Amino acid sequence: MARLQLKNLHAKVAEGGEKILDGVDLEVSSGEIHALMGPNGSGKSTTAKVIAGHPAYEVTEGEVLVHLDEDEFEGMTIPEEKRIWNLLDLEPNERAAVGVFLGFQYPVEIEGVTMVNFLRTALNAKLEERDDLFEEGEEAETEEEAEDSGYDTSPMEGNADEGDVGVAEFQELMAEKMDQLDMDTTFAQRYLNAGFSGGEKKQNEVLQAAILEPSIAVLDEIDSGLDIDRLQDVSKGINALRDEQGAGILQITHYQRILDYVEPDHVHVMLDGKIATSGGPELAERLENEGYDWVREEAYETA
């Protein structure tokens, strides 16, 4: 179990200094689904990128904390002094290692890197970084162990001897996750997002989260550009992240339609860089019917 906590978070564009976030307070726990909504330019995507450590933004005030609420974390015992992490002190790869995942709004295409090779490399890198952070499994590799003996399998799949998760084990894991997401297994050998439709790219983002098994997944407008069939597939994957893996979900979206399939426990509306109001699923339905003007009026009446 983990809890992501944003406390009075302020941030600006690193180059130019435009202020974007103006005191965001938000908590997301494992097993919960939160929807973050708001008009364009309100700070939703900036919030996601700041959580992940995007270098385009500079945090000027506040904290982004991850609380590891139980003694056990991903099957390992964590010391008492390492149960609270300030993400602002960590590099992006270290943030991933303590259980945070960011699903991109615009996933990049990488020619020449197969999905299976990319995902196995990412998983092994996360496990190695996690061990370093929690001071477990830090036994130095011997020179013999570190030596690369070359490809035991196809170069499309990477070196079999690299990392904690070998090729055969990973292929089994990936096939299981792709089956859960109703993905064609031939995708595993395609280059990362290259030639993928918009829906396939978003489905691939959910597949990455399913394999990396984060405690908290931040999904930035993962529903944009999806037709109804792909929306249902992606929604099925998001629900599986919560129901089968226990992840907490921060779902950034403009629209009610994905929330018809991924029912949130909490809905938050962001205006002008801060959370203006929060509520249950009924809040998203009211936004769908009435827009954001009433939120703005109520927020500035009470300001």
Domain boundaries, the chain: 2-106+215-302
> Binning pLDDT at 50, 70 and 90, where does residue 147 land?
very low
- The β-bridge relationship of strands 2-13 and 57-68 is antiparallel
Phi, psi of 98 (to 5 degrees): -90, 5
pLDDT at 144 over 70: no
d(CA 58, CA 190): 36
Give the pLDDT score at 156.
54
Give the pLDDT score at 192.
95
Position of tokens 């860089």? Answer: 273
Residues 46-104 have pLDDT tens digits of: 999 999 999 999 999 999 999 998 777 777 788 888 999 999 999 999 999 999 999 99
d(CA 263, CA 257): 10
In angstroms, the first-to-last Cα distance of the chain is 35
d(CA 152, CA 156): 11
d(CA 7, CA 275): 12
- E strands present in the chain: 2-13, 19-29, 33-37, 57-68, 72-73, 76-77, 84-86, 100-103, 110-114, 191-192, 216-220, 248-252, 266-271, 274-279
Give the pLDDT score at 300.
80
Give the pLDDT score at 73.
76
Give the pLDDT score at 154.
57
Q: How high does pLDDT run on average in the chain?
A: 89
d(CA 123, CA 214): 11
More confident residue, 207 or 155: 207
Give the pLDDT score at 301.
78
Question: What superfamily in CATH does domain 2-106+215-302 come from?
Answer: P-loop containing nucleotide triphosphate hydrolases (3.40.50.300)
What is the arithmetic mean of pLDDT over 14-40?
96
Give the pLDDT score at 158.
55
Contacts of 200 (CB under 8 A, 6+ apart): 187, 193, 230
Q: How far is CA 269 from the centre of its chain?
A: 20
What 3-state DSSP class applies to 43? Answer: coil
Among 65, 138, 126, CA closest to 93: 126
- The β-bridge relationship of strands 110-114 and 191-192 is antiparallel
Cα–Cα distances in angstroms (integers) from residue 246 to residues 30, 94, 214, 281, in the given order: 6, 21, 9, 20
Q: Around Cβ 199, how many Cβ atoms within 10 Å?
A: 17
